[in-house]
Amino acid sequence: MEEREKLHGLTTSTHSKNSPVFVMLPLDTIAIGGNLNKPRAMNASLMALKSAGVEGVMVDCWWGLVEKDGPLKYNWEGYDELVKMVQENGLKLQVVMSFHQCGGNVGDSCSIPLPPWVLEEISKNPDLVYTDRSGRRNPEYISLGCDQLPEIQVGMGPCGELRYPSYPESNGTWRFPGIGEFQCYDKYMKASLAASAHAVGNESWGRGGPHDSGQYNQFPEETEFFKRDGTWSNEYGQFFLEWYSRKLLEHGDRILTAAEGIYKETGAKLSGKVAGIHWHYNTRSHAAELTAGYYNTRNRDGYLPIARMFARRGVVFNFTCMEMRDGEQPQSANCSPEGLVRQVKNATRMVGVELAGENALERYDRGGYGQVLSTSRADTGNGLSAFTYLRLNKRLFEPENWRNLVEFVKNMSEGGNTRLPECDSSRTDLYVRFVKHSHGNKTAGVAVV
């Protein structure tokens, strides 16, 4: 670890900063029909969050709902109602422009496919979506290889994150802690690879991705490409990984450039989300990060280029797994979420880009909140400008969980230097009692959204 810290140039600072807390709303906040789901329950939940000192909420704006009926045929009715409700409750709103489908990823609790007219185009031309070496198509989003084709609108990537869909959970394709697979086998990506290989004078390098990179659920040492001194480190491996990661960076830059052009006069702050791929982080190759498009290895910092690209556009770097500890992970997976977070905090600090955070998995315990408080401070690398909690649901309003959330929000707002008393009747118990009372009448859906 000392050598890795020297490599990535980790620095230290002693100051702390206030970090406002946002809470993610349910994935199905807007119903399939385009209306606001359970409006009375939502309003009661927003009132409770406001009383707890929460800064605001985050909601996914699904492409498959807003533009469902055809190109440029928009339905904003449900979102309009939500915006007004959030405003009336004195909260702020973060909107995630979600151009991917909902369903098939960690935590997905409902299904919202891409717009029907988009799926129809994909059925006509399957190469519009990401494809792995076995020819398996992923209909969750459009391949970045199509970025410059006319009339193709794309988001940052799967789960709204700037990455390749290298570890799809749907249908059991991938399971933790598999290394994943490269996603560069649609005809557009293959054409780009062939052109890059031709440009460096080695046509053989452009005939497809690495043949020795294994399968979704293997470990690095089970493959020739990712093992300790594998192909990833030779001349061909470096060529391929530079091309693969560069394509992702170019994709992100194009999307952010377009967003900048749309939102620059509104005063809205833009952010981009990067995945916290912490498994196999303690190996030389960092295989799981490589297949996702992050060219981060024992001797190369893959997050600095992403941070620089975000900095050029003035975009907030939003990162996950802020709640995870190394000691909670299985030893066999060579995980280090804490090391990964330190590296990202340092990379964003070096280039002067704002860093925000999320938890990757649902946590309600003080240990998870305590880890977020620790990572939010600027004692190593960049401090968090804001934190978004995953997610508003029934469990959050259970008495102990609610008290823990209120204590956490207060700590974050005060730089992590204070604690709430065990019983804070002035804030916490008010809405816990309200939720309990509501279960016995027609408003049983209160806070269960």
Query: pLDDT for 216-265, tens place per residue?
Result: 999 999 999 999 999 999 999 999 999 999 999 999 999 999 999 998 88
Better-scored residue on pLDDT, 421 or 89: 89
Percent of the chain whose predicted confidence (pLDDT) is above 90: 77
- Rounded CA gap, 245 and 308, in Å? 14
**Neighbour count for residue 122 (Cβ, 10 Å):** 15
What letter would DSSP give residue 30? B
Residue 197 has pLDDT above 80, yes or no: yes
Given phi > 0 = left and psi -120 to 50 = alpha, else beta, which region is 122? alpha
Better-scored residue on pLDDT, 28 or 378: 28
Catalytic residues: 161, 358
The pLDDT assigned to 437 comes to: 37
Which of 112, 87, 25, 23 is closest to 60 using CA atoms? 25
- For the chain, the average pLDDT equals 88
Answer whether the bond into residue 113 is a cis peptide, omega within 30°: no
The pLDDT assigned to 120 comes to: 96
The pLDDT assigned to 104 comes to: 63
pLDDT-derived band at 211 (thresholds 50, 70, 90) equals very high
pLDDT-derived band at 15 (thresholds 50, 70, 90) equals very low
pLDDT-derived band at 136 (thresholds 50, 70, 90) equals very high
The pLDDT assigned to 414 comes to: 86
The pLDDT assigned to 106 comes to: 64
Given phi > 0 = left and psi -120 to 50 = alpha, else beta, which region is 199? alpha
The pLDDT assigned to 311 comes to: 97
The pLDDT assigned to 444 comes to: 25
Percent of the chain whose predicted confidence (pLDDT) is above 70: 86
Which of 233, 181, 185, 179 is closest to 206 using CA atoms? 185
Q: How far is CA 341 from the centre of its chain?
A: 14
pLDDT digits (tens, 9 = 90+) for 362-380: 999 999 999 999 999 887 6
Residue 441 has pLDDT above 70, yes or no: no
pTM: 0.85
